[in-house]
Structure 1
Amino acid sequence: MNKQTKWIGAAALLAASSLVLAACSADDEANKPSGDKGGDSAPAAVEAKPDNNPVDRADMKQGGTVVSAIGEITTQLNALHNDGSANTMTLWTWYNPQVMLMTPEGEVYENPAYLSDRTVEEVDGNTVVTYTFTDEATFNDGTPMDWKTIEATWRVQSGEGDYQPNSTDGYRQIASVEKGETDKQAVVTFKGTFAWVDALFQQVIHPDAAKDAKTFNESYINEPHPEWGAGPYTIGTWDADKGTVTFVPNEKWWGDEPMLDERTFRVMEATATINAFKAGEIDMVATASADRLAQVADMDGVKTYRAPDVANALLQFNANTPALSDINVRKAAMLAIDREQIKEVNFQGLDWEEPPAGSFNLYPFQEGYEDSFAAAGYEFNSDESATLLDEAGWTMGDDGIREKDGEKLSFGYTTFGDDPTSEAIARVIQQQLKAVGIELNIENHPSSEFATVVNEGDWDTVIMRFTSSDPFGVMWMCQIYCMDQGLNLSDTSDETFDSRIHEQVEALPTAEEQIPAAMKLEAELMSESWGIMPVYNGPIIATAKEGLANMSPEPYSGLDMFGVQPVENFGWAK
């Protein structure tokens, strides 16, 4: 899923392995087993570099098409809505304003096509940000982008009323949005100081789409509304039944000419994408497994790229499942899972190593990172797991499965798609849990059912991928740990989590103060909930036709790490 920062929409945007890497289940990865490793230890930082073939516009060809796979065309097409996913954001980015852009390292800057100026200052103890839109900035229906655009975006994400946004973080700290010196200027005043202004208003919404909660929540259901969009491309065709979306140059665009004549996304299962790439039907494909890399190794005219994935693969435990309602059972299950064995399976043949994933706030390569999960008490320890289950009253049955009050300790593990690595990981976890007397039933669904199954809560445990849109993970801490947030689906947070995050982290005036406080608090919250388990971060590995340049311009798509590039620069090098 995704995080509005940390995760798109934060809603978690689980990433799938079909290259725009945007579906939300972490199923499309790779595997290989090992034994009891004891505790994990992490180096302070790992090297992180983008690998998306950056090319200047002057060295690009004008024209051509690019076709790639996508996991699904979601029912909810509003990327700012809680039910949006990384797939939603990928498609949204191609026909909606990219007001803010970002370097691969996470440095935010204004898109000059939309904003002529942005200033940040402190006035009377309050952070004030002033956005000035260009005269040309206009939605496709002729509505000017102005202070009302910023006001509408704030209103739907403020947490007030019946709007269902993907995140309220940062927006709920805003006291007001007012007209500046002209209609084209918006003055945003926060309630006190605010440390993460770069994380806000990266996407904006048309005021008509935000006029009331019903419109915001429902108008984008199965309807993309290109008239509410803006940018170098607009929708050419949108056929959810056939699983095809195309974008074509927008005649109403005022900025740099888009490089492509057409950009196409096709819904495909992960296993179908490799054959489609080999047949020339798509121009890039995820190759994050030894088998997939082998299948493209002898192809002419292609190149393989790899970069750290700014994402967390995690295992969610649904506390509404009777067997998982006990925190000690959830903790026992996590202690029984050897993450190193899962990583060996997942990274087999990839020549990839990484430290343990220990936080949903920061990545190991970011300054200030600490292994919160280890600090919370996690280490792979089957003996301690068995002891916890004994103390919880689950006794071992003759068939090797524990029982209590006539019920077996049994629950499901939901997977999506037909990727063999995902199946292998499921089997590994199944064996690890059986070793301590837990029966895990694997339940598979097509990738296209991900959003429906997850949103309806029809699962017991599921591996997801939370993909970050920016480096400001601490700001988005509430998306993971506050009650009733879109990312943490385990239902294991309590009412104190919200207040502690607000008081112990968000109330601090600077990022430098918030980061260590957030890492300390995260360990505490993990130890009190045992609802979500970080498993690994992993690489993005993709193979593309030679000459494809400036890849993955959208948030959450990976090869350029935190980068958000102008979509008009994506295309073919000369």
Structure 2
Amino acid sequence: MIRWWRLIAAIAMTVACVSGCGAAVDTGAVKTEGASLNLQPRENLKDGGSLTTAITEVSPQWNTFHADATLYTLALWRWYNPVLAYFSPEGEYSPNPDFLTDVRTETVDQKTVVTYTLNPRAYFNDGTPIDYRAFVETWRTSRGVDDRYIASSTDGYNQIASITRGVDDRQAVVRFDGVYAWPDGLFNVVLHPKATAPDVYNKGYVRQPHPEWGAGPYTIGSYDADNGTVVFERNPKWWGRPGKLDRRVFRQMESQAALNAFQNGEIDATGVAAKDARARVLTMNGIDIRTAASPQQALLVLNLDAPILSDRTVRQAVFTAIDRETLARIRFTGLNYTEELPGSLSLYPFQPGYEDNLAAVVSYDPAKAAELLEGAGWRAGDDGVRSKDGKRLSLVLPNVGDDTTSLNLSRALQAILGKVGIDLVVQQRPSADFSAVIVNKEFDLFMMGFSSSDPFGMAYFCQVWCSDSQFNPAGAGSPELDARIEAMSRIGDPMAQIAAGNRIERDAFAQFSNLPLFNGPAMVAVKEDLANYGAGQFYVGPIEDIGWEK
């Protein structure tokens, strides 16, 4: 599943709910092979204490399955709702035995069948058994058949033919309508059956987290919607190993406020994947900077509904004029980090099957960009800005939030496009405007990003490229491309599907709607004795084991 986030959040405040280690010293080029984990067994941890961190946004929508949910919704959801699966840093799936005692995947009559056997001790906090009904209701609301449900993702769920009771209520048998390539990406979190009436699903979680419908080592102790503060405490109804922490606190903060709070000892960890932030924490004692490859994409989106950008040739010229190397250099200044420019919005360079699908479509060539604009009738005026039929080639780029690196990127892009006669107006907007910018399409160009919550990127190809997807703010796509994506999603062999997806993505990039910019590292500064927390790539592990070393 992918989740949009603001670009400034990617730059300064990425904090994965896992662990890592390092040292607050500058030791040369940053390495991101795998995760940097400070995994500690429970016997090495104290009982008690609290962990407080910043979060970019406490979304009003607490239902992680809803289309308005974000990366931050999921981060909070996992602290008080059933998490049925764990993932290694590399993305290897394993069931959480507190909820699932067995998961068996088979191919029967050319159809994938997955049998989930649930722990008989597993109950929601209100006393409802966690059984096959939770699987049925999660599928029913996520499959995309009933448009009363505003679902974030239907991928995979729309290929399930049936879910039935197994040997008893504590077994769910999931039958697909063919061979499905990515079954480990489904049912890693589930909905309470009481949350699945349309009005409740869409509106019932707005500013209402419903801890009674959750389950796990922690539950919500308090929630201040106005100030963006959430406190989790141990769940007295939990049947598994108790959480090591007494309290887990999230505080909504802008990036600079979070950095100040970390330096003042008010919070225990903060993202530092930006020059100024990293430089400030390097002078601190008693901390680690924990670093890993980041399963996140930063990209530039063009609004195809904007009159000037409705012309494909103009869009091609814009992308051809952009020096991504310079933007990446600005982004990673002061981090001692470099990476190859990304060429896919489906997979990351460290994943099997990744290909640079952008290279064959567009490359930096300002002379060609100028030629394209000339051919489209845009002529340079006395001030260097092009115009056509009395209209200037002027485009608006909103810059959301107060992050310095984000503003530097916006200004650099302004200068880059100015060299070929494009007037880019950088419009400063507050962080709270992010959703309005996207939903209302209040942009010509916009830098933003998304995060992958599991390693099955090709499963979510449609979210980025299908014409009717809410994750496609550019408005790109076509019925023909939609049909090809649907056919690709039906390929049962994972590597064969990835190969087909790579071919389609090259054609999708030729719409000149989305331009990958960089991925970047996850860098998290933490107090050095914090265990099982930090930068972990795809890692999802037991939250009850996060805590402080003895």
TM-score (norm 2): 0.94
* 1:99 counterpart residue number: 84
**Residue identity matched to 1:386:** A
Counterpart-to-counterpart distance in 2, 1:271 and 1:156: 39
User: Does 1:547 pair with 2:518?
Assistant: no
Q: Answer yes or no: is the 8 Å Cα contact 1:13–1:467 preserved in 2.
A: no
What SS does structure 1 have at the residue aligned with 2:325?
A: helix
User: Does 1:172 pair with 2:148?
Assistant: no
* 1:56 counterpart residue number: 41
Pairing partner for 1:316 from 283, 294, 301: 301
Q: Which runs of 4+ in 1 moved over 6 A?
A: none
Counterpart-to-counterpart distance in 2, 1:327 and 1:21: 38
Q: Answer yes or no: is the 8 Å Cα contact 2:14–2:522 preserved in 1.
A: no
In the superposition, relative to structure 1, how do residues 299 and 47 fare at CA in structure 2: closer, same or farther (>3 Å)? closer
* 2:494 counterpart residue number: 511
User: Does 1:203 pair with 2:189?
Assistant: yes
* 1:388 counterpart residue number: 372
What SS does structure 1 have at the residue aligned with 2:463?
A: helix
User: Any unmatched runs of 5+ in structure 1?
Assistant: 23-45, 553-558
Counterpart-to-counterpart distance in 2, 1:203 and 1:446: 32
**Residue identity matched to 1:534:** P
Counterpart-to-counterpart distance in 1, 2:47 and 2:416: 53
Counterpart-to-counterpart distance in 1, 2:516 and 2:471: 13
Pairing partner for 1:425 from 384, 400, 409: 409
Correspondences of 1:1-400 after superposition (within 5 Å): 4=1, 7-8=2-3, 15-21=9-15, 48-162=33-147, 163-211=149-197, 213-375=198-360, 377-400=361-384
Counterpart-to-counterpart distance in 1, 2:549 and 2:314: 54
* 2:506 counterpart residue number: 523
* 1:555 counterpart residue number: none
In the superposition, relative to structure 1, how do residues 13 and 413 fare at CA in structure 2: closer, same or farther (>3 Å)? closer
User: Does 1:563 pair with 2:524?
Assistant: no
Correspondences of 1:356-505 after superposition (within 5 Å): 356-375=341-360, 377-503=361-487, 505=488
Q: Answer yes or no: is the 8 Å Cα contact 1:196–1:475 preserved in 2.
A: yes
Query: 1:239 deviation in Å?
Result: 0.7
Q: Answer yes or no: is the 8 Å Cα contact 2:12–2:273 preserved in 1.
A: no
Q: Answer yes or no: is the 8 Å Cα contact 1:18–1:71 preserved in 2.
A: no
Q: Answer yes or no: is the 8 Å Cα contact 2:32–2:292 preserved in 1.
A: no
Counterpart-to-counterpart distance in 1, 2:139 and 2:525: 39
Q: Answer yes or no: is the 8 Å Cα contact 2:32–2:521 preserved in 1.
A: no
* 1:28 counterpart residue number: none
Counterpart-to-counterpart distance in 1, 2:120 and 2:222: 29
Q: Answer yes or no: is the 8 Å Cα contact 1:285–1:543 preserved in 2.
A: yes
Counterpart-to-counterpart distance in 1, 2:308 and 2:191: 42
Counterpart-to-counterpart distance in 2, 1:144 and 1:327: 54
Query: 1:123 deviation in Å?
Result: 1.5
Cα deviation digits, residues 473-497 of structure 1 (max 9, x gap): 1111111111221322100111112
User: Does 1:573 pair with 2:549?
Assistant: yes
What SS does structure 1 have at the residue aligned with 2:270?
A: strand
What SS does structure 1 have at the residue aligned with 2:368?
A: helix
Mean Cα deviation higher: 48-57 or 163-172: 48-57
What SS does structure 1 have at the residue aligned with 2:130?
A: coil
**Residue identity matched to 2:493:** T
Cα deviation digits, residues 531-573 of structure 1 (max 9, x gap): 1110001011111111111115xxxxxx110111111111112
Q: Answer yes or no: is the 8 Å Cα contact 1:19–1:68 preserved in 2.
A: no
Q: Answer yes or no: is the 8 Å Cα contact 1:414–1:461 preserved in 2.
A: yes
Counterpart-to-counterpart distance in 2, 1:378 and 1:64: 52
Cα deviation digits, residues 207-232 of structure 1 (max 9, x gap): 11113x22211111121111111111
User: Any unmatched runs of 5+ in structure 2?
Assistant: 17-30
In the superposition, relative to structure 1, how do residues 181 and 154 fare at CA in structure 2: closer, same or farther (>3 Å)? same
Counterpart-to-counterpart distance in 2, 1:301 and 1:47: 22
In the superposition, relative to structure 1, how do residues 20 and 428 fare at CA in structure 2: closer, same or farther (>3 Å)? closer
Cα deviation digits, residues 120-160 of structure 1 (max 9, x gap): 11112211101111111111111111111001111111011
Cα deviation digits, residues 403-424 of structure 1 (max 9, x gap): 1222111121112211111111
Q: Answer yes or no: is the 8 Å Cα contact 1:193–1:509 preserved in 2.
A: yes
Q: Answer yes or no: is the 8 Å Cα contact 1:319–1:531 preserved in 2.
A: yes
Counterpart-to-counterpart distance in 2, 1:271 and 1:424: 15
Query: 1:453 deviation in Å?
Result: 2.9
Query: 1:51 deviation in Å?
Result: 1.5
**Residue identity matched to 1:346:** R
Cα deviation digits, residues 139-193 of structure 1 (max 9, x gap): 1111111111001111111011121111111110100111111111111100111
Q: Answer yes or no: is the 8 Å Cα contact 1:20–1:68 preserved in 2.
A: no
Q: Answer yes or no: is the 8 Å Cα contact 1:480–1:488 preserved in 2.
A: yes
Cα deviation digits, residues 466-515 of structure 1 (max 9, x gap): 11111111111111111221322100111112210122x22322112111
Counterpart-to-counterpart distance in 2, 1:77 and 1:444: 28
**Corresponding residue pairs, total:** 534
* 1:42 counterpart residue number: none
Q: Percent of aligned positions with the same letter in both sequences? A: 43
What SS does structure 1 have at the residue aligned with 2:245?
A: coil
Counterpart-to-counterpart distance in 2, 1:287 and 1:240: 26
What SS does structure 2 have at the residue aligned with 1:373?
A: coil
* 1:31 counterpart residue number: none
Q: Answer yes or no: is the 8 Å Cα contact 1:335–1:380 preserved in 2.
A: yes
Q: Answer yes or no: is the 8 Å Cα contact 2:150–2:202 preserved in 1.
A: yes
**Residue identity matched to 1:508:** I
Query: 1:444 deviation in Å?
Result: 2.0
Mean Cα deviation higher: 447-456 or 320-329: 447-456
